[in-house]
Amino acid sequence: MGKLKTDANIDDADGFMAELLALHDGRSKAESDAINARLILILANHIGDRAVLSEALRTAGMARDD
């Protein structure tokens, strides 16, 4: 069983963020929401470890922006 990585772990994090923002540029909220949903499912499938995914859900649920 894996453990959720919460420390910085992305090569070229700024470049990734720029690419992610560019993906959403010019799209409607509904289109961006659909992209985000697909991206979540693609990455969840890649991770594959159900315990890690559950931990990620709990962690994301604690970080509320509203």
Work out the angle between the directed axes of helices 50-62 and 29-47 (0-180°, nearest 10): 140
Residue 22: the pLDDT is 98
* pLDDT of 1 higher than 90: no
Residue 6: the pLDDT is 93
Q: Quote the CA–CA distance of 38 and 49 in Å, as a whole number.
A: 18
Apex CA 14: angle with CA 1 and CA 18, to 5°? 105
Per-residue pLDDT tens over the stretch 15-45:
999 999 999 999 999 999 999 999 999 999 9
* pLDDT of 48 higher than 60: yes
pTM of the model: 0.84
Q: Quote the CA–CA distance of 58 and 23 in Å, as a whole number.
A: 26
Residue 54: the pLDDT is 97
